[in-house]
Amino acid sequence: MRKIDDIFPNLGFAPTLIIVIVLGIALQLTGFWMTMLLAGGFGGLFTRRHRHSFLTGFLGVGIAWTGIFAYLTVTAQAMAVAEFFIGLLGLSGMGWLVIVISLLLGSLLGGFGGLFGRSLVEIIDEFSSEAEQTHTPVQPTEEIVMEEKQ
Amino acid sequence: MSKRKVINLVLSLIGPIALIVILTMPIGPLAGGLQIVAPTGGIFDVGVGVHQPETQTIKLPGLDANVVVVQDQWGIPHVYGDTIEDAFMAMGYIHARDRLFQMYMQNYLAAGRISEIVGGYAASSDRLYRTLGFERSAEKTLAWFEANTDNPDVAYTLDAIDAEVAGVNTFIDTMTSVTTPIEFKILGFDPPHWRRLDIFIFAQLQSWGLAGGFDDLRNQWMRSTMDNDTMFDEVFPWTMPYSIPIVLEQYNLSITEYPNANGGYPADPNPSALNSGVMAEEAYIPQEKLEVLIKALDEVINPIGDMDFVGSNNWVVGGDRSATGEPILCNDPHLGFQTPALWYESHIVVPGELDVTGVGFAGMPGIILGHNEHTAWGWTNVGADVLDIFVEQLNPNNSSEYMYNGAYRAFEVHDESILTKEGNIIPFEVLESVHGPLIDSITNTYNVDSEDSPNLAMRWTGNDIIHNIMAVGMINKMSDLESYFDAAYWWDVPAQNMVYADDQGNIALTVMGRYPIRAGYDGHFPVQALNDSVGWVSNVPYAYIPRTVNPSQGYIQSTNQLSIDWNTYGFELLGPYADGYRGRRIDALLAADDSVTMDDMKRFQADALEVRAQEIVPYVVDAWNNLGDGNATVDEIIGWLDDWDYVMDPDEKAPTIWMFLRNAIHYETFDEIRSIDSSLMLSRTPVLEKFIKENNVYYFDDHTTAGVVETRDEILVRAMYRALDDLVADPVFGNDPADWDYGNKHRVYYDHLADLTSVGGIPHRGQLTLNVAGGWRVGGGPSWRLVADMSNIQMSYGIYAPGQSGNPFSPHFDDLFWIQYSYDEVTEQHGYHAIYFYSTVAAFQAADTEGTMIEAVITFIP
C-alpha cells in the first residue's frame, strides 16, 4: 500500500499556497464555509512540515477570501453589508472590522485544516506502514536495498 | 504507532472543532452565529441578490398560463395575468421576494409568536397579542369564509388568498442564500410556509392598529386622578370645539336594501328603544392597577405607529370645482414610518376582470388604497371607540367564575403557552368571559388589586368575525356608486372614512365601519355588566351610517375629525376624534378655490401652515405688546412671530419658538391640572384655543398664587418667558439664535422594523399641519399620497416612502424616500411619481420610448 506522501509530492511552499488559494476560491463559491478546512487540508498533502501546512492553509484561504471580498466590494456592496452588520453591535463606521474578522476566521479554518490534514496524513501513512510491516513477509535487507536502487 | 503522531492528530483537531463551535453558536442577536460573515453563503450574498436581470423567466407551478410582470423604474410590479388566480400567485411571489422578512415579523408579532424569532425577552409583547387574541379571532373569521363559499365574493376572496399563499410559498421553497433576507440570516430564522390564516392574522393586526386601544382605562385614570368631574368635562370634552364635521349632508341608503349593519351584523334603526335608560353603576378599578396596566400596554409595540400620529387626510372635489371639470381625489393616510414601509405598491391587470393600482400589504392580495379604470378611493381613520372594558364580578369562592345573568359561569380558558427561540416554553393562559378576553392577564396586578385573579374583559369589534378582506376585493372592482355602496357594506373593522370619486362625476364619502349600539352605559369608561341589559345590544344600520354623496358644497374632506354633527344625527359614534385643525385648513383651502388643479392638490398635500399657531400666536403678540417689559430677546422673538406666515418651515426660527410656546401656554394655563398630578395631560389645543378666545378667567388665574388673580395676557407673557427658557435649555438649540432654525431638530426618520438601520434624518416641514410631521423626531405622517385625476386616470400621481424593496442594499430600498421628501420651493410641492397605468404589456412597452420606465420584465411560466 502506497503512502499518501508517496502519492502527493512535496511541492514546496509557494506551489502549495497557489493550490490552496485556487481550492479556497472554488470551494467557498459553493457557499459552505466548512469546506475551507478541506482547502487548507490540501496544504497538508503537499507539504511535509506542520508549520508549512498551517501556513499554506492559513495564507491560502486568507488570500482566497480576500480576493472574493475584493470582488464583492466592487460588485455587491460588501462594505455596505459589513457596515450594516456591525451597526447591530453598536460599532457603526467599523464595517471593515467584519471583513477583517471574517478573513481571520477563514484563515484559521484553512490553517487548522492544513494542520489537521498533515497530522492525518502522517498517522495514516504510519498506520499503513505498520500494517504493511505486519502483513508483508520480511525481505532480506539486501533485497530491500536492491529495490531502492532500482 | 507513534504516540507523538497520535497526540499531533488530537491536538490538530482542537482548532477546527473550536472554530466550528465559535462559528455556529448564537452570539447575542446573531442567532445564526458568526458563520454568516463568510464571503459567500452568508450576509454578503444579499448584496449579490440586488442585481436583477432585465428579463427573467421563473417557474411558478400551479399557473394556468404565463404571467408577465413588468417592473417599473421604481421597482413597482405591474402584473399581467389571464386569471385572478394567476395574477395573485405571481403577486405573492413578488411580495415574498421583496418583503419576506417584514411579512413574517409582522405576523409573528400579531400572533404573539415574536419570541420564536427574537427570543424570550419579547414575551411581554407575545402575552399582550395572545391576550388580544388575534390568532383566535382570525381562525373564527377564516372559518366563516370557508363556510360561506357559496357567496361569490367570499369565493373570490379565498381564491385570491390561496393564489397569493401559493406564490409566497413557491418563493420560500426556491429561496437561495442570495435571495434570503439578511434579517433571517442574522436571526437564524427559517420561515415556514405562509398560510391562509396568516392573511387573516395580518388583517387583525391592522384593525388593532387603527381601531384598538384602551382609552376607557385612560379616561378613568384621568377622571379619577383629577377627582373633579366638572373640570374633567370642561378640559377634556368628547368633541373638540371649532371642528368642522366630515359629513355635512347625510345621505341614507334604503334600509330595505341594507337592513343590517356593516359586515352583515344585526342592526336596529331605533337605538332608543333598546335602552331602558337605567345606567349601570360605574365600575371601580383601583388607581394603582390602572397605572400598572396602562404602563404595560404602552410598552408594547404598536405595529403601525404611535397612536398620537395615526391619522390621515383625504378630500375630493367634484367637477364643478375642478379645473378639469371632473373630480380630483386626494388621500394621504398618516401612519408610523417604518423600513420596509407598511405599504407595497403594485398594479394588477386581469383583462375583463381587474385593472387596479395603488398600495396594499405584502403577503395579502388586493389593493387597499388607489384607483382602477373607473374609480379612485382613499381612507382616513375614523377613530371611533369600538372597544369597551367590562369589569367582571368574580365568584368570591372561585375566581375562575364570574357573575352574569344571575348565575356564576366559568371563564373560557385558552392555553397560550409561548415558545421561545431558546426552546423554552413559557406557560400562559388567557381567560375569556362573555364580553371578551381578560386584558389584565398580561401583567400581574394582583398585589395592587383586591381581586386575586384577572377580571377586566375587553369587548372589541375586531374580536368578532371581520370581513374587511372581502371588502377589499369588492373595492378593487368598483365601477360606480352602486358597487361602492355594496363594497363599503362589507367593511366592518377598522372604521374608515372612505372617500370616493368616479369617472361619471360622482363624489362621496362613507364613514364605513361597524358601530355598536350601547345600552346601560355610555362607553367612555369601564363598566360592570352583570347581565345582558348592559352592553352592546345592536349596531348602527349600514343604511344610516354617516355618508355623503355629491354634497352641494362640491367637495368633501376628512381628517379624522368629528364624523357628523351629533345634534342632527340619530346615533352616537364615540370618538376620540382628531383636534380638527387639519380639517379646518383643508376646508378653508377648498372653499377658497372653485377651480382646483392637480398642482393645487399637490400643493395642498404639502401644506405646512399651522392653524394652531395662526389662531393663538396673535394673542401672544398682543399680550406682549400690552404687558411686555421690553426684554430685547423677547422683543426680537415677538418680531419673528409677528412676521411669521405660520408655515412650519425648517429654515425658520418662528416654528421653533412656536413649539416651545405651545407647551408653555398649556403649562402656564392649566396649573389646576398639573398641580394634581404632573403626569396628567394638560388638555387638547382646541380647548386651549377656546379658553384664549373666550378669555376664560377661571383657568387663566394661577391658583397656586393665593390672593392674586392673573389675567390671560399675564399668563401668555409668562408662557413666552417659559418658552424662551426651555428653548435655551434645549441642547440642540442653546443660547445662540443662529442655531434656532426649526430644521435643526425637526427631522424625519424611517427606522427599520427590527431597528437594524434607518432612512432619512433630514430636516422636514410641518407639524400638526396638512403635511403632518408631529413632534421633533418625525416617525409618522403621510405613508402614501395619491392625487387621482378622474378626467384622465393615467395622469394620476402617487408616492410612498422609503421604497419597494425590503433589501437594505437594493436601490429600491429608499429611492422613493428621496422623491417624496424633495420639496420644490417654487411649486410648493413634495415629490411624486407618475402612476403608470397601462392595461397591456405592449402598451407599457410602447410608452417606454426612452427606455427609462421599465426596469425589468419577469415571465412566470407554469
Determine the pLDDT at residue B301.
62
Sort out which chain A residues have CB atoms less than 8 A from B22's CB and list them. 105
- Across the range B732-757, mean pLDDT stands at 95
- Across the range B262-282, mean pLDDT stands at 85
The 10 Å Cβ neighbour count of residue B57 is: 11
Q: How far does the CA of residue A146 sit from the closest CA of chain B (Å)?
A: 27
Q: Can you name the residues that pair with B460 across neighbouring β-strands? A: B387
Bigger pLDDT: A127 or A77? A77
Reported as a pLDDT band with limits 50, 70 and 90, residue A140 is low
What residue has cell string 532480506? A140
Closest Cβ opposite residue B6 in set A72, A81, A123? A123
Determine the pLDDT at residue A148.
44
Reported as a pLDDT band with limits 50, 70 and 90, residue B52 is confident
How far apart are alpha carbons B67 and B79 in whole angstroms?
7
- Across the range B79-102, mean pLDDT stands at 98
Strand-by-strand arrangement of the B547-549 sheet: B55-59, B854-861, B67-72, B77-80, B344-350, B354-360, B369-372, B375-381, B496-502, B507-512, B547-549
For residue A96, the SS3 value is: helix
Sort out which chain A residues have CB atoms less than 8 A from B30's CB and list them. 88
User: In chain B, which residues fall in CATH 1.10.1400?
Assistant: 611-744
Reported as a pLDDT band with limits 50, 70 and 90, residue B302 is low
- Across the range B35-52, mean pLDDT stands at 92
Mean pLDDT of chain B: 94
Determine the pLDDT at residue A147.
45
Q: Do residues B369 and B378 touch, judged by C-beta distance below 8 A?
A: yes
For B144-159, give one letter per residue: b (16+ CB within 10 A) or e. bbeebeeeebbebbbb
Residue A126: closest C-alpha in chain B: B1
At a CB cut-off of 8 Å and minimum separation 6, what does B295 contact? none
Closest Cβ opposite residue A65 in set B6, B15, B39? B39
Q: How many alpha carbons lie under 13 Å from residue B838 in its C-beta half-sphere?
A: 20
User: Could B16 and A28 be called an inter-chain contact, meaning their C-beta atoms sit closer than 8 Å?
Assistant: no
Sort out which chain A residues have CB atoms less than 8 A from B808's CB and list them. 84
How far apart are alpha carbons B214 and B221 in whole angstroms?
11
Determine the pLDDT at residue A1.
67
Q: Please, what is the Cα angle at B773 between B767 and B775, to 5 degrees?
A: 75
DSSP state of B122: G
Sort out which chain A residues have CB atoms less than 8 A from B46's CB and list them. 81
- A25-54 tens-digit pLDDT: 999 999 999 999 999 999 999 999 999 999
Closest CA to B719 of B601, B783, B634: B634
Reported as a pLDDT band with limits 50, 70 and 90, residue A145 is very low
User: Could B42 and A119 be called an inter-chain contact, meaning their C-beta atoms sit closer than 8 Å?
Assistant: no
Domain topology for B611-744: 1.10.1400
Q: What is the DSSP string of B446-493?
A: GGGSS-SS--EEEEEGGGS---HHHHHHHHHT--SHHHHHHHHHT--S
For B389-408, give one letter per residue: b (16+ CB within 10 A) or e. bbbbbbeeeeeebbbbeeee
Instruction: For chain B, say whether A40 makes contact (Cβ under 8 Å).
Output: no
Q: How many CB pairs under 8 A join A and B?
A: 122
Closest Cβ opposite residue A112 in set B5, B16, B50? B16
What residue has cell string 497557489? A18
Per CATH, the architecture of B1-268+309-606+770-862 is what? 4-Layer Sandwich (3.60)
Return the percentage of chain B with pLDDT > 70, whole number.
Answer: 98
Q: Can you name the residues that pair with B407 across neighbouring β-strands? A: B404
Q: How far does the CA of residue A137 sit from the closest CA of chain B (Å)?
A: 19
Closest Cβ opposite residue B38 in set A77, A106, A115? A106
User: Between helices B654-669 and B611-627, what is the axis angle to 10°?
Assistant: 70
Instruction: For chain B, say whether A84 makes contact (Cβ under 8 Å).
Output: yes
Closest CA to B134 of B416, B353, B472, B393: B416
- The burial class, CB within 10 Å (0-12 / 13-18 / 19+), for B341 is buried
- B4-34 tens-digit pLDDT: 888 989 999 999 999 999 999 888 778 778 8
Domain ranges (residues) in chain A: 4-149
Give the strand pairing for B829-830 and B823-824: antiparallel
How far apart are alpha carbons B567 and B693 in whole angstroms?
24
Instruction: For chain B, say whether A122 makes contact (Cβ under 8 Å).
Output: yes
User: Could A85 and B186 be called an inter-chain contact, meaning their C-beta atoms sit closer than 8 Å?
Assistant: yes
B467-B470-B476-B482 Cα dihedral, nearest 10 degrees:
-70
End-to-end CA gap in chain B: 62
| Residue B853: pLDDT over 80 | yes
Sort out which chain A residues have CB atoms less than 8 A from B38's CB and list them. 28, 33, 65, 102, 105-106
Sort out which chain B residues have CB atoms less than 8 A from A90's CB and list them. none
Residue A49: closest C-alpha in chain B: B8
Reported as a pLDDT band with limits 50, 70 and 90, residue A149 is very low
Sort out which chain B residues have CB atoms less than 8 A from A125's CB and list them. none
At a CB cut-off of 8 Å and minimum separation 6, what does A75 contact? B47, B48, B51
How far apart are alpha carbons B809 and B41 in whole angstroms?
17
How far apart are alpha carbons B270 and B543 in whole angstroms?
13
Determine the pLDDT at residue B815.
98
Determine the pLDDT at residue B279.
84
At a CB cut-off of 8 Å and minimum separation 6, what does B849 contact? none
User: In chain B, which residues fall in CATH 3.60.20.10?
Assistant: 1-268+309-606+770-862
Separation in Å, CA B760 to CA A79, B372, B747, B749, B802: 20, 32, 8, 5, 9
User: Could A122 and B8 be called an inter-chain contact, meaning their C-beta atoms sit closer than 8 Å?
Assistant: yes
Q: Do residues B406 and B533 touch, judged by C-beta distance below 8 A?
A: no
User: Could A105 and B19 be called an inter-chain contact, meaning their C-beta atoms sit closer than 8 Å?
Assistant: yes
How far apart are alpha carbons B334 and B339 in whole angstroms?
15
Determine the pLDDT at residue A146.
46
| Residue B572: pLDDT over 90 | no
Instruction: For chain B, say whether A85 makes contact (Cβ under 8 Å).
Output: yes
- Across the range B737-766, mean pLDDT stands at 95
Mutate which: A48, A77, A83, vs B, most B CBs within 10 A:
A77
- B469-485 tens-digit pLDDT: 999 999 999 999 999 99
Determine the pLDDT at residue B310.
63
Determine the pLDDT at residue B308.
57
Determine the pLDDT at residue A139.
54
Mutate which: B9, B175, B758, vs A, most A CBs within 10 A:
B9
- Here the cell at position B734 is 442653546
Determine the pLDDT at residue B563.
96
Q: Do residues B492 and B514 touch, judged by C-beta distance below 8 A?
A: yes
Determine the pLDDT at residue B548.
98
| Residue B641: pLDDT over 90 | yes
How far apart are alpha carbons B468 and B535 in whole angstroms?
24
Query: Which region among B158-172, B262-276, B505-519, B829-843 has the lowest average model confidence (pLDDT)?
Result: B262-276
Bigger pLDDT: B447 or B380? B380
- Across the range B298-302, mean pLDDT stands at 69
Tell me, what's the ipTM?
0.87
Sort out which chain A residues have CB atoms less than 8 A from B13's CB and list them. 116
What residue has cell string 398641580? B675
Q: How far does the CA of residue A97 sit from the closest CA of chain B (Å)?
A: 11
Q: How far does the CA of residue B6 sit from the closest CA of chain A (Å)?
A: 7
User: Could B42 and A33 be called an inter-chain contact, meaning their C-beta atoms sit closer than 8 Å?
Assistant: yes
